[in-house]
Amino acid sequence: MTNSWVDIKNADLILVMGGNPAEAHPCGFKWVLEAKAKKKARLIVVDPRFTRTAAVADFYAPIRPGTDIAFLGGVINYLLSNDKIQHDYVRNYTSAALLVREDTGFDDGLFTGYDEAKRSYDKSTWNYQVDKDGIAKVDPTLQDPNSVFQRLKTHYARYTPELVERTTGTPKASFLKVCEAIATTAVPDRTMTSLYALGWTQHSVGSQNIRSIAILQLLLGNMGMAGGGVNALRGHSNIQGLTDLGLLSHSLPGYLTLPTDGDPDLKTYLEKRTPKLLRPGQFNYWANYPKFFVSLMKAWYGAAATKENDFAFEWLPKIDGAYDVLRVMELMSQGKVNGYVCQGFNPLSSFPNKEKVLGGLRKLKFLVTIDPLSTETSEFWRNHGEFNDVDPSQIQTEVFRFPSSLFAEEDGSLVSSARWLQWHWKAAEPPAEAKGDLEIVAELYLALKKLYATEGGAFPDPVLKLAWPYRITKAPAPEEVAREFNGQALADVPDPKNPGAFLVKQGEQVAGFGVLQADGSTACGCWIFAGSWTQAGNQMARRDASDPSGLGVTPGWAWSWPANRRVLYNRASCNADGVPYIPTRKLIWWNGTKWVGNDVPDFKADSPPADGMNPFIMNGEGVARLWAPAMADGPFPEHYEPFDTPLARNPFGKVLNDPAARVFKDDWKAFGKPDEFPFVATTYRLTEHFHFWTKHARIPAILQPEAFVELPEGLARKKGIRNDDMVVVKSKRGQIKLKALVTKRMPTLTVEGKEVEVVGLPIHWGFLGQTRKGYITNTLTPPVGDANIQTPEYKAFLVNVEKA
Amino acid sequence: MALETQDIRLRSATTMESAPSARSFRPEVAKLIDLSRCIGCKACQAACMEWNDLREEVGTFQGSYANPLHLSDQSWTVMKFNETVIDGSLNWFIFKDGCMHCADPGCLKACPSPGAVVQYANGIVDFQQDNCIGCGYCITGCPFDIPRMRKQDGRVYKCTLCSDRVSVGLEPACIKSCPTQALTFGSKAEMTELANHRLVDLHERGMAKAAVYDPSGVGGTHVFYVLPHGDRPETYGLPRDPSVGAVVTFWRSGVARALGVATMFGVLVAGILHYMRYGPLEVPDETEGKTGKEAQS
């Protein structure tokens, strides 16, 4: 979230699209109802299903799964063509005025630079026009045809209400009603918050869905504002912490990135990742990348990381491509993976195309699961009748199960969607032989280290030289690891502004990332967590709920990265003169000498408004990007159909699917066609369960005991299916059998003149646990991911449904 | 909870015209269920099971988000779901079912067993299963179809409004678990004020028919609702004008009592006359012997 859960209460309008917080985030959803009850806020839900969120909404509009860009592009067009944007904000704080290269363009579904054979773009034409110093050119009048603003207008002019209706199935009147409501927040003193979750990310165009809402919120001037923002509601407890700590295959902690084969040495690596200033006088905060990276290497390798050995840069793996879950499963299916360690993860249930996952797992030599529960993955080899019909005698994979503790059985911190690091304390001891994950991983590491030490190996240094400063070597304490993430000074760090004084003394915990150094004098395991465990102690354990501003900022409750800041980009809540746009919702302001306020300013504290530094300090431009040349599939979001689509052609252009989405050769035949699979399906979870965990507990099993599929009444009538009948749902990937819930809440939409029925599939059941046994829903889902980050397309695919 | 008589306002099948009531400074409590804030998450249902140590068998899907579908001796509150089209737009009525804790409780009036149903001074209507004879009259007497007989022990159970928690100053478990403040708990006066305040917001939002459901036919209730569609209580699953049934009213009325006393007196007179005419009833020896053996085994 750019803002926080509590901040939702400040909103005037709440747009829930691509999420279903009443069901997936019921506790956080209280702030939506708070905004409704106390601020007269309106709640709009756009969703393929009439959800429990829709049940308490002021307005609901249906939409076909996978057409969010068409919808949002339509809203962008509405705002631009009806002049419902916040001009001051757009001109000053976005890239609207920047000029893009003249030779960049878009034609009939493709941006310039597309290579069909590689299914990827040469993005060089997508850059800004720059002067000889590399500074981007601007036209403050926004009239230049190559200004981002004019390009935006042209691109989205095609997204007319009529075409939106034909594509999304949302009735035009409903679409326009949503547009009108959103447009009311284009004024400076009204804000809209956007709440989304996996309903936007789990698409082949997932990243561009988020880009669409970012553009929309920038045009409205809603970024950085209390009650505004683009707010990702994270799907798992601590999944925010997972991404923060770089557990994705291409990531390092704090959103640093792994080196690639193209980074032969530290210098090249850092140069490529340290952005150039694109506009004069901007902060360009990522210019500090070397400080964050070197401090990370010092945390990992301690004294072994020296200036002479490039701070152990060579010991990092050089990634040669994405190793996302889809690629790993592809490699596993090809027999190229020997072993797989599965920690707190249930791929057989969670990954798309269960048959492919099963085929991969059985080719492994060994599988390790670290989990508090007996997962389907750990029993993939066992025959569970029709639900997992395998022959164990034909599977040679050796499976090791390490029982681990649950969150309530360990101390530690969790990072919430709001970027809050909240410390928690153990409530019970883990049962029987279960151990904490830290202990399990530490013992594995020490065993490996011993093998390398005694038997040698091809490349032992990265393992042998890892710093391991924990009091009990086989059981690092959560407190020790947390202190390491925060970071400390390894030598006295002199204060450049104050000769003779020091920013931090040797051995002290750093107070924030501002003191980190690129010379090896500081260590920090995750730069964005710097400040979470300072000399003053564990900031994550703070529980002061006082809220002096009344804006839900609660600066003394837990700790929020970065720098205990609660609303990102909060400089944009003030106009160019440093005066808050909304006097009753003041986050920060310029007091004549510095930036102060109710929140921690997201800005250079002593930079006066007159100097013209802009609010989006992480960007070399200093402004927010309406045009994003780093995206894999285009600088502006464009509507493409899901890979399983009910349409023969894309109503927006000649390119049917996202042209830069990666599809493995053998997977092209895994996509369905509407003649065989006429219905559009989407998957989701229900309030009563959390993924594949809570089916192991009695009460949630009572509350939602058995698998079902939600069917529109029209479909049920056509197929002679009655409520509670047993049905078979088939996709190109496989079939499952389950009960039918015939409901008015699943829509029959009119898309390109034909009826499209939408089928809903909750995901929670499997062959283990206290509920009724069920088929794994992901038997049906397609093996394709988002073009930028490979999140699988769980939310839009084709099925057929028959009475069983 | 202990049977402190001063804490009990009404007691079933007891000729207690008025309880000792010197401790008058005891507010009536109430649970307000604001269905405009209810998201059907079933946290209340789970909390009820946890606090009261209740567990249904794991059932099957039965064609609804609701599970179980109805109240039972193991489910004292249940979320119900109902899809309705009003003026062309779809509404999903989500309803929390459970005891209303009537001011004028039909169950208590109908109960023939002394002290099996009581109403505390704070308004909570509670069943004392120790005193329950399993006749099921309370089930017939309830206008909301709440009490449920447990097959295993032949006693009747329902929501206690967590009288055990409330008596020590805690809110009921369902209130504590509700994430959206759809459930709130306090004095009836405060809750009524809150309910009326909520109506202002709902009316302003265009829900002109929003209303408070606190039916006078049962003297008002200590569990009451804000209904976004107040003109359609039946769609939620609530009776439009509930009242304590005619049979129960008759049962509890003076006429019934007089008839009962007359009947009792008649039986007594008949008995005396029978004794005077035929002498004492003689019990055959073998029956007495058999009973005695069974008692020893």
DSSP for A603-643, please give it. Answer: S-TT--GGG---S-TTSTTSSB-SS-TT-TT-SS----B-S
Q: Check residue A235 and give its pLDDT.
A: 85
d(CA B262, CA B271): 14
CB B57 within 8 A of CB A698: no
Closest-CA residue of chain A to B57: A702
Q: How close B55 comes to chain A (CA, Å)?
A: 7
Task: Answer whether the bond into residue B68 is a cis peptide, omega within 30°.
Answer: yes
**Centroid of chain to Cα B33:** 16
CB B256 within 8 A of CB B280: no
Mean pLDDT by 10 residues, chain A (804 residues): 98 98 97 96 98 98 98 98 98 98 96 97 97 97 98 98 98 98 98 98 98 98 98 93 93 97 96 96 96 98 98 96 94 97 95 97 98 96 97 97 95 97 97 96 97 95 97 98 98 96 98 98 98 98 97 97 98 98 98 97 97 97 97 98 98 98 96 98 97 96 98 98 98 98 98 98 98 98 96 98 97
CB B40 within 8 A of CB A687: yes
Interchain contact, A702 vs B204, CB within 8 Å:
no
User: What are the chain B neighbours of A698 within 8 Å (beta carbons)?
Assistant: 55, 58
d(CA A236, CA A693): 11
- Dmax (CA) for chain A in angstroms is 84
User: What are the chain B neighbours of A29 within 8 Å (beta carbons)?
Assistant: 39, 179-180
CA angle, residues B241, B244, B250, in degrees to nearest 5: 135
Interchain contact, A705 vs B59, CB within 8 Å:
yes
Closest to A444 in 3D by CA, of A426, A425, A428, A468: A468
Helical residues (DSSP H) of A4-144, grouped into ranges: 21-24, 30-39, 52-55, 68-81, 87-93
Closest-CA residue of chain A to B39: A52
Interchain contact, A27 vs B179, CB within 8 Å:
yes
Interchain contact, A55 vs B58, CB within 8 Å:
no
d(CA A564, CA A421): 9
Interchain contact, A40 vs B201, CB within 8 Å:
yes
SS3 A524: coil
Residues in Cβ contact with A11 at an 8 Å cutoff, skipping those fewer than 6 apart: A35, A39, A41, A191, A192, A193, A227, A228
**Tokens describing residue A680:** 């559009």
Q: How many CB atoms lie within 10 A of CB A683?
A: 21
Strand-pair partners of B157: B148
d(CA B191, CA B223): 10
Say how many CB pairs under 8 Å bridge A and B. 111
Helical residues (DSSP H) of A60-160, grouped into ranges: 68-81, 87-93, 148-157
**Tokens describing residue A184:** 């009311």
CB B226 within 8 A of CB B199: yes
SS3 B185: strand
Chain A interface, best mutation among B32, B49, B65, by max A CB count within 10 A: B65
Interchain contact, A744 vs B90, CB within 8 Å:
yes
**Centroid of chain to Cα A676:** 33
Interchain contact, B60 vs A705, CB within 8 Å:
yes
User: What are the chain B neighbours of A741 within 8 Å (beta carbons)?
Assistant: 61, 63-65
d(CA A98, CA A754): 42
SS3 A713: helix
Q: Check residue B279 and give its pLDDT.
A: 75
**Tokens describing residue A779:** 């038997």
Q: List residues of chain A with CB under 8 Å from any CB of chain B.
A: 22-23, 26-27, 29-30, 33, 36-37, 40, 50, 52-56, 58, 60, 686-688, 698-708, 723-724, 739, 741-745, 770-772
CB A691 within 8 A of CB A236: yes
Burial letters B193-208, b for 16+ CB under 10 A, else e: ebbeebbebbeeeebe
**Tokens describing residue B107:** 């169950």
Mean pLDDT by 10 residues, chain B (297 residues): 68 76 81 98 98 97 97 98 96 98 97 96 96 96 97 97 96 98 97 98 96 97 98 96 77 63 78 78 54 41
Interchain contact, A770 vs B91, CB within 8 Å:
no
Closest to B79 in 3D by CA, of B62, B63, B67, B91: B67
SS3 A316: coil
Residues in Cβ contact with B217 at an 8 Å cutoff, skipping those fewer than 6 apart: B143, B241, B242, B243, B244
Interchain contact, B40 vs A36, CB within 8 Å:
no
Chain A interface, best mutation among B73, B90, B181, B198, by max A CB count within 10 A: B90
Closest-CA residue of chain A to B194: A37
Q: How many CB atoms lie within 10 A of CB B59?
A: 17
d(CA B237, CA A537): 55
* pTM score: 0.94
Closest to B106 in 3D by CA, of B17, B12, B28: B12
Q: What is the helix (H) or strand (E) element at residue A219, kind and residue range?
A: helix A206-220
User: What are the chain B neighbours of A41 within 8 Å (beta carbons)?
Assistant: none
Q: Check residue B265 and give its pLDDT.
A: 78
**Centroid of chain to Cα A217:** 18
**Per-residue CA distances from A589 to A3, A193, A549, A605, A619 (Å):** 18, 21, 13, 10, 21
**How far does chain B reach from its first CA to its final CA, in angstroms?**
36
Q: Check residue B6 and give its pLDDT.
A: 73
Interchain contact, A687 vs B45, CB within 8 Å:
no
Closest-CA residue of chain B to A743: B83
Closest to A629 in 3D by CA, of A275, A291, A269, A132: A275
Interchain contact, B39 vs A724, CB within 8 Å:
no
Interchain contact, B58 vs A36, CB within 8 Å:
no
Q: Check residue A675 and give its pLDDT.
A: 97
CB A529 within 8 A of CB A564: no
CA angle, residues B117, B119, B120, in degrees to nearest 5: 130
Interchain contact, B50 vs A699, CB within 8 Å:
yes
d(CA A54, CA A557): 31
Task: Answer whether the bond into residue B242 is a cis peptide, omega within 30°.
Answer: no
**One-letter amino acid of A729:** V
Token pair 């034409």 is found at A125
Chain B interface, best mutation among A5, A20, A23, A33, by max B CB count within 10 A: A33
CB A299 within 8 A of CB A242: no
Residue A388's Cβ-side half-sphere holds a number of Cα atoms within 13 Å equal to 25
* Burial class of B291 by CB neighbour count within 10 A (0 to 12, 13 to 18, 19+): exposed
Strand-pair partners of A120: A115
Query: Could you tell me where the beta strands, DSSP code E, fall in A84-229?
Result: 106-107, 110-111, 114-115, 120-121, 192-196
CB B62 within 8 A of CB A724: yes
**Tokens describing residue A764:** 């929670």
**One-letter amino acid of A185:** T
**Is the Cα torsion angle A136, A141, A145, A149 positive or negative in sign?**
positive
Q: How many CB atoms lie within 10 A of CB B22?
A: 6
CB A18 within 8 A of CB A196: yes
Q: Check residue B280 and give its pLDDT.
A: 72
Q: What is the helix (H) or strand (E) element at residue B189, kind and residue range?
A: helix B188-204
Q: How close B148 comes to chain A (CA, Å)?
A: 19
Least CB–CB distance from A704: residue in B50, B67, B83:
B67
Strand-pair partners of A683: A761
Interchain contact, B41 vs A58, CB within 8 Å:
no
d(CA A206, CA A789): 9
Interchain contact, B63 vs A724, CB within 8 Å:
yes
Q: Are strands B148-150 and B125-127 parallel, antiparallel or unpaired?
A: unpaired
